[in-house]
Amino acid sequence: MLGQLQSHLAGAYRVERELGGGGMSRVFLAHEIALGRRVVLKVFPPELAAALSVDRFQREVRVAAGLQHPNIVPLLAAGSAGGVLYYTMPFVEGESLRSRLASEGELPVAEAVRLFREVADALAHAHRQGVVHRDIKPDNVLLSHHHAVVTDFGIVKALAAAGGATPLTATGMSLGTPVYMAPEQGTADPHVDHRADLYSLGVVAYEMLAGEPPFRGSTAQAVIAAHVTQAPAPLAEARPAVPPQLGAIVHRCLEKRPADRFQHAEELLAALDALTGALPAPSPAAREWPLARTLGFFALSGSAVLGVAWALRTLAGLPDWFFPAAVLLLALGLPVVVLATMLHNRRLAGAGRAPLAVPGVVHRRLTLRGAVWGGVMAFSALGVVTATYMGMRVLGIGPVGTLLASGKLRERDRLVIADFANQTRDALLGPAVTEAFRVDFSQSTLVSPVAADYVRRVLRRMQRPDTTSVDEGVAREIAQRAGIKAVVAGELRQAGPSILISAQLVSAESGEVLAIARETARDSTRILDAVDRVSKRLREKIGESLRSIRANAPLAEVTTGSLEALRKYSQAVRAEDIADFDRGIALLEEAVATDSGFAMAWRKLGTMVFNEGGPAAQAEAALTRAFRLRDRLTFRERKLTESSYYSDVAGELDSAVTALESLLQEYPDDAWAINNLGVMQEFAGDATAAEQTYRRAVIAEPENFLAWSNLLLEQLYLGHSDSATATLRFIKSRVPPGPGLDELDVINDLAKRDFSAAETRIREQIERYRSNGGARLRLTRLLAGTLTVRGKLAEADRALITSAELYGARGLPGAALALQARRAEPIALYRGDRRAAMARLNEVLRASPVERLAPREQPLARLILTAAQVGDRQRAEALTAEFALNPGMSAGRARTYMRNFTRGAVLAMRDETLPQAIAAFRRAEHGICGYCAHVAMAGAFDRMGLPDSALTYYEKWAGAGEADWYGPGVYNIWQPLAFFRMGELYEAKGERAKAVDFYGRFADLWRDADPALQPRVREAKRRLANLVAEPRP
């Protein structure tokens, strides 16, 4: 048609391009040749032109062309050429109100009122000239420089008049638009007047304010019927922000009866002018947006969105794909925003600018506001998808549902980790990866992998060798026996230089695979990273918070980047499991030599050396190194390291307790942390709290032999004999025979002061474990103490020498010296020969001068107590001064106790300082060995002539269990002397029954004592006989 039109109008106009079309015409941009201006050329189709009277049409157009008003687009010319009917009007730069509503929906109230008034003003002028528009709608309202101008005035009337007797509907055309048509227009009322324009304007105003017209329908007839029969929904419901007065004006325009509407446009204008004070401030007019500004805003908003997305992923634990999805949406949105900006600027510039090569629907629909809302909707959809995903995870729905939510596992469940099946060329890789996986998995706050030593203990109960390989089948057996629901079984496979690592969570009962994860390490240097990813994927499937998982440091950072060091560490752990501590220590030394930053190996080394009574300097150096490297440990290992350092090195029990409590906040069922907390309470002197804490530890991990042993010892210490008997019976039912279990029998006898039975057991066990160096050392030490207390001094002296030799052979000269020094004590205390005792001590110290030992190997506390007991005050005071500067062999946790106790012992050597000695003993009373302080205080009160106070503390000592027999030379030599003295004091008080009791205990204890001590035994028996023979009052 464009070519045909150009040929017909060649003399007057040069048609440039088509702009679009309406219901009755096609619209072209043309250049008026005579005046050199751009105009809009509207052309009616030939079939319509054929049905019209051109003369009548032109007469009516001339009437409309007389309208001159700022808000009316005037008609310039009308005519026909080559059977084509057309008219022209000025080209108006800007967009139509229809385009604006399509892009923004509802308009700001103030702007809508302004446009409402401007159209009403145009109608008022036209109506005064007798021109009725009859087709007011957003398409016929243009926005030129942000003001409304109305087009096509008089065209409908001109068409109607030109049609004469021929209805235009016969040509397929309709006069008016149903959505905006007044009821009288819809019913073809012949008396339609200017008030129909006010109704149509009301519909337009309603749409500007509500975002949609008041009536819609699937067909034109349905819409017309709604106009005639239905009341529009109140504007206040569609948009509460619309002022009531404005809503009333719009609804009055929409009255069904013309008589109920405003009668003239001037009346409507007056009503709108009265609204001015009640309206919000108008929004700024639309303006052009430079592309650079759009890109700048997009960059800023995109950065903010990505920052929020990253924060949500990190802080709220959203899935890993959430952030990449946000990046993708922004990447997709960028070209959309750029295109929307370009289209926006072309609309504002007008139709004269060259069009963009985009589909028409995009050109009409894509706006800046629409692009922004599209972005909002896209990210809202991302939020909905993410929320759905997280909800399904939490509720256990579908493949993303967690095992915790589905009920297959419960929070705090324990898991058995099987040895990774090793199908690679490196035989040591399997154990190393297994240990690394255990470390990484132990960071879980939901489930708890059982420790390797726990697995070995269960194997012993199953009567399997400690060296048994824990494959998936064995792991399931262990889990079933221990009531554990699931096991983790892994596998390593070689694929060229790459190593395939897989792990699956398997039901212990049914063997069902509950979850599986696989990763590939490109080479051996990437193994730990792959193990880390496998572990975290399984933890995610179990149901652990993604935030919690991401908070964990990478595995290589909390273990070692050296695979060789990790191999040594895993071998050391296996050696510890089978009680081969010497080999374990050697392997750990190799591990830290390979990687000096391997914090976990340093901690394990320090703990193993300390627990085995090794060199204090070595243990403290290792723990100090681990403490300094604690940022390279998992949270659990870090807190255990802090606890060990503060307790064993720094001697700060409160800080150690704080570290353990922090650990238990995250892992409330960590048996080792609970056990260690009990140890801290024990060393702080709170035996009752320690017993309760040890009980918590064995509930958390029923196979924890150390926790059971500590519980037993604390019950013995508190004198809870029945509870201790039940505990020992339970331990024997759970733990296979071995030196550790047998030693508990010995300690049980010693704590109950059944020294004869203890001696028999010790001798039997020395023979049984003669080839076990560690057991023989401990048992020989216990034998020496038992023989000493029983008065078998010659045998005790030989046992002390043997024990000292065994410690010396293990490279522990300080412990050997402590045992040698104790040989002097019974000479002074039992035989009463202080000169000979001092000579023996001098002999020992000449043979092994304490100053030749390294500072941390010097048994200063033990030497102070021995010097005090043999009466060597000068030596005791000199050693005390040294002890104030150098803790010697004393462990950090016991250091405060030992300094108070040794100070009391030295002060007690002088009668004039006995009160100060008692004060020091009172401070020591709240420490690891309260009953040791009690018997010392009793002796001090006795020497002060306060027998009642003395008996009070003797009774406290006698009521406690003698459970502290650990460490070289640790035993209470005062026991027989205390029994005898209590008999004397009760005899003096006239409490015959108690005197008989304690004389009897003494006589029984020294029944087999050396001949040199028998006179004291005969004296006790004589007193006992006299008390029994005395008549009762």
Distances in Å between the Cα of 624 and the Cα atoms of 297, 602, 603, 606, 629 are 54, 9, 9, 9, 9
Looking at 23-27, 444-448, 759-763, 778-782, which range is the least confident one? 23-27
- How far apart, in whole angstroms, are the C-alpha atoms of residue 675 and residue 458? 19
- How far apart, in whole angstroms, are the C-alpha atoms of residue 751 and residue 733? 21
- Residue 758: name the closest of 798, 787, 732 by CA: 787
Q: What is the mean pLDDT of residues 260-277?
A: 90
H or E segment and range at residue 442: none
| pLDDT value for 78 | 84
Q: Which two tokens stand for residue 793?
A: 């001094």
| pLDDT value for 484 | 87
- The 3-state DSSP class for residue 887 equals coil
Instruction: Name the packing angle between helices 930-943 and 975-989 (round to 10°).
Output: 50
The position carrying tokens 């998936």 is 472
- How far apart, in whole angstroms, are the C-alpha atoms of residue 198 and residue 515? 71
- Please give the residue that has the higher pLDDT: either 142 or 346: 142
Q: What is the topology classification, in CATH, of domain 2-90?
A: Phosphorylase Kinase; domain 1 (3.30.200)
Q: What is the topology classification, in CATH, of domain 634-721?
A: 1.25.40
User: What residues contact 154, with CB distance under 8 A and at least 6 apart?
Assistant: 60, 61, 63, 64, 65, 67, 75, 131, 133
Q: What is the pTM of this model?
A: 0.64
User: What residues contact 503, with CB distance under 8 A and at least 6 apart?
Assistant: 420, 437, 488, 489, 490, 491, 516, 517, 534, 535, 538
In the predicted model, is pLDDT for residue 114 greater than 70? Answer: yes
In the predicted model, is pLDDT for residue 767 greater than 70? Answer: yes
Distance of CA 659 to the CA centre of its chain: 19
- What is the per-residue pLDDT across 702-725, written as a single tens digit (0 to 9) for each? 888 889 999 999 999 898 989 999
- How far apart, in whole angstroms, are the C-alpha atoms of residue 330 and residue 366? 17
Q: Strands 84-90 and 498-507: what pairing?
A: unpaired
Q: Does domain 95-278 have CATH number 1.10.510.10?
A: yes
Asked if 1006 contacts 974 with a C-beta cutoff of 8 angstroms, the reply is: no
Q: Strands 95-96 and 141-144: what pairing?
A: antiparallel
- The 3-state DSSP class for residue 812 equals coil
- How far apart, in whole angstroms, are the C-alpha atoms of residue 746 and residue 768? 14
Q: What is the topology classification, in CATH, of domain 406-555?
A: Rossmann fold (3.40.50)
- Residue 417: name the closest of 573, 202, 576, 281 by CA: 573
- Please give the residue that has the higher pLDDT: either 338 or 919: 919
Q: Which two tokens stand for residue 505?
A: 């969570």
Q: Which two tokens stand for residue 646?
A: 């503060």
In the predicted model, is pLDDT for residue 157 greater than 80? Answer: no
- How far apart, in whole angstroms, are the C-alpha atoms of residue 757 and residue 524? 58
| pLDDT value for 52 | 61
Identical fold between 559-629 and 634-721? yes
Categorize the per-residue pLDDT at 23 as very low, low, confident or very high, splitting at 50, 70 and 90. Answer: low
In the predicted model, is pLDDT for residue 48 greater than 70? Answer: no
Q: What is the mean pLDDT of the chain?
A: 86
H or E segment and range at residue 435: helix 429-441
Distances in Å between the Cα of 953 and the Cα atoms of 901, 916, 918, 940, 946 are 15, 17, 11, 10, 11
Q: Which of 55, 121, 135, 742 is catalytic?
A: 135
User: What residues contact 91, with CB distance under 8 A and at least 6 apart?
Assistant: 29, 37, 38, 39, 40, 350, 351, 352
| pLDDT value for 348 | 56
In the predicted model, is pLDDT for residue 506 greater than 50? Answer: yes
- Please give the residue that has the higher pLDDT: either 20 or 904: 904
Q: How many residues does the chain have?
A: 1033
The CATH class, in words, for 559-629 is: mainly alpha
In the predicted model, is pLDDT for residue 168 greater than 50? Answer: no
Q: Is 942 a catalytic residue?
A: no
| pLDDT value for 289 | 74
| pLDDT value for 172 | 41
Q: Is 701 left (phi over 0), alpha (psi -120 to 50) or beta?
A: beta
| pLDDT value for 349 | 53
Categorize the per-residue pLDDT at 169 as very low, low, confident or very high, splitting at 50, 70 and 90. Answer: very low
Beta strands in 122-165 (DSSP E): 141-144, 147-150
- Residue 691: name the closest of 717, 726, 667 by CA: 717
- How far apart, in whole angstroms, are the C-alpha atoms of residue 484 and residue 661? 26
What amino acid is encoded at 659 in this protein?
Answer: A
Q: Which contacts (CB < 8 Å, 24+ apart) does range 387-395 have?
A: 389/319, 390/318, 390/319, 393/543
Q: Which contacts (CB < 8 Å, 24+ apart) does range 801-805 have?
A: 803/777, 803/968
Categorize the per-residue pLDDT at 167 as very low, low, confident or very high, splitting at 50, 70 and 90. Answer: very low
Asked if 718 contacts 751 with a C-beta cutoff of 8 angstroms, the reply is: no
Categorize the per-residue pLDDT at 165 as very low, low, confident or very high, splitting at 50, 70 and 90. Answer: very low
- Please give the residue that has the higher pLDDT: either 10 or 330: 330
How many other CB atoms are there within 10 angstroms of residue 130's CB atom? 10
Q: What is the largest CA-CA distance in the chain?
A: 158
| Alpha-carbon dihedral 361, 364, 369, 370, rounded to 10 degrees | -20
- Residue 44: name the closest of 155, 151, 148 by CA: 155
- Residue 174: name the closest of 219, 207, 131 by CA: 219
- How far apart, in whole angstroms, are the C-alpha atoms of residue 1013 and residue 1003? 11
H or E segment and range at residue 764: helix 755-768
Q: Residue 520: is it exposed, middle or buried by C-beta count within 10 angstroms (0-12/13-18/19+)?
A: middle
Structural domain boundaries in the chain: 2-90, 95-278, 291-395, 406-555, 559-629, 634-721, 737-806, 974-1033
- Residue 406: name the closest of 389, 393, 391 by CA: 393
- How far apart, in whole angstroms, are the C-alpha atoms of residue 907 and residue 982? 23
| pLDDT value for 950 | 96
Categorize the per-residue pLDDT at 352 as very low, low, confident or very high, splitting at 50, 70 and 90. Answer: very low
H or E segment and range at residue 37: strand 37-44
- What is the per-residue pLDDT across 479-494, written as a single tens digit (0 to 9) for each? 888 788 899 998 999 8
**Phi, psi for 397 (deg, rounded to 5):** -100, 135
In the predicted model, is pLDDT for residue 667 greater than 80? Answer: yes
What amino acid is encoded at 1004 in this protein?
Answer: D
Q: Which two tokens stand for residue 516?
A: 């599986």
Q: What is the mean pLDDT of residues 645-657?
A: 90
**Percent of the chain topping pLDDT 90:** 44
User: What residues contact 20, with CB distance under 8 A and at least 6 apart?
Assistant: 26, 27
The position carrying tokens 């809009």 is 40
- What is the per-residue pLDDT across 288-325, written as a single tens digit (0 to 9) for each? 678 888 888 888 988 888 888 888 877 777 887 888 88
- Residue 502: name the closest of 515, 485, 512, 511 by CA: 515
DSSP 419: P
Distance of CA 649 to the CA centre of its chain: 31
